[in-house]
Amino acid sequence: MQPPRLASHVHGGNGLGDVELPGPSGKPVAESAAELLVRLVRQHPGEIDVLAVGPLTNLAVALGLEPELPRLVRRLVVMGGAVRVPGNVSSHAEANIGNDPEAAEAVFAAGFDLDLVALDITMRTVATPAWLEELRTVPGERAERTSAFLDFYADFYSGIFGVRQCAMHDPLAAAVLVDPHLVTEAVEAPLRVELTGGLTRGMTVADLRPRPKDDDRRPARVVTEVAEAEFLGRMLDSLR
């Protein structure tokens, strides 16, 4: 695993557009994230969904601790990858997959019931200038802090989109986990990660042909269309 790309120019120095939040009220647990996940799914087999919005390192470590993890987890939603579109940390690699390609390959090979929310859909599901302006009118500390963070984010994305709007990568993945009916179209395909290519390391490779008979890898659902207006409306409602 290479050192992570922190991308402070995208997310700010603290990962939240330099918006200061109150300190946490809880305390760190004694076990690692991977150990905690394994313990919880063993205690509640088939009841826990997992949302992955970063490199898949912890999931890969958890797989090493518990090979039955894909059977114990009910559903896994991954925000990551670029299937039919360019990457964002290289010509082919998306950041979450590209930061630990070996971990992502292990997770994609394991047989999870998996939805992939990739750049293909997140770069088309955006908080528009009108949506961001409406968010400014929503009262309350949560909406105000979210608006401030997204202002920072929109500044970065204005150089990509040409207007002050921003892609809703992680919120869309979370919404898909909470309500799968927001997905209006998906394709099923086995996923792999390119590990050796000099120009393509970290690339998410989906075999989109009719399922090959000699491929025993469980296909994932690659989200290709969502109910965008409903998603953005519910995002505003959740911040009111």
Position 173 in a domain: yes
Q: Are residues 193 and 101 in the same domain?
A: yes
Position 36 in a domain: yes
Q: Are residues 142 and 180 in the same domain?
A: no
Does 2 score more than 70 pLDDT? Answer: no
pLDDT at 164: 92
**Which of these ranges, 2-11, 32-41, 113-122, 192-201, has the smallest mean pLDDT?**
2-11
Q: Are residues 190 and 100 in the same domain?
A: yes
What b-and-e string marks burial along 24-43, b requiring 16 or more CB atoms within 10 Å of the CB? eeeeeeeeeebbebbeebee
Q: What is the pLDDT of residues 175-216, one digit of tens each?
A: 999 999 999 999 999 999 999 999 999 999 999 987 666 778
> CB-based contacts of 204: which residues, under 8 Å, 6+ apart?
80, 81, 82, 83, 93, 94, 97, 104, 116, 118, 191, 192, 193
**Which of these ranges, 13-27, 75-89, 142-156, 172-186, has the smallest mean pLDDT?**
13-27
- Binned at pLDDT 50, 70 and 90, residue 13 comes out as confident
What pTM value is reported for the model? 0.93
Q: Are residues 37 and 133 in the same domain?
A: no
Position 71 in a domain: yes
Q: Are residues 98 and 189 in the same domain?
A: yes
Q: Are residues 138 and 64 in the same domain?
A: no
Position 232 in a domain: no
Q: Classify the phi-psi angles of 111: left when phi > 0, otherwise alpha if psi is within -120 to 50, otherwise beta.
A: left
- Mean per-residue pLDDT of the chain: 93
Q: Are residues 157 and 83 in the same domain?
A: no
pLDDT at 18: 83
Distance CA 19, CA 149 (A): 6
Q: Which residues are catalytic?
A: 169
Q: Are residues 152 and 110 in the same domain?
A: no
Position 8 in a domain: no
How many CA within 13 A on the CB side of residue 217? Answer: 21
Does 54 score more than 70 pLDDT? Answer: yes
Q: Are residues 148 and 199 in the same domain?
A: no
Position 175 in a domain: yes
Query: Is there a contact between 150 and 232 (Cβ–Cβ < 8 Å)?
Result: no
| 164 vs 212: which has the higher pLDDT | 164
Number of domains in the chain: 2
- Binned at pLDDT 50, 70 and 90, residue 44 comes out as very high
What's the average model confidence in pLDDT over 107-134?
97
Name the residue type at position 216: D
**Which of these ranges, 1-5, 42-46, 213-217, has the smallest mean pLDDT?**
1-5
**Which CATH number does the domain housing residue 75 bear?**
3.90.245.10
Q: Are residues 176 and 146 in the same domain?
A: no
Q: Are residues 108 and 39 in the same domain?
A: yes
Tokens linked to 13: 């120095």
What's the average model confidence in pLDDT over 78-93?
97
Q: Are residues 76 and 148 in the same domain?
A: no
**The domain containing residue 161 runs over which residues?**
127-167
Position 86 in a domain: yes
Does 1 score more than 60 pLDDT? Answer: no
Position 231 in a domain: no
The alpha carbon of 121 is separated from its chain's Cα centroid by a whole number of angstroms, namely 11
Query: Is there a contact between 125 and 231 (Cβ–Cβ < 8 Å)?
Result: yes
What's the average model confidence in pLDDT over 82-108?
97
Strand pairing class (114-117; 220-226): parallel
pLDDT at 101: 98
pLDDT at 12: 82
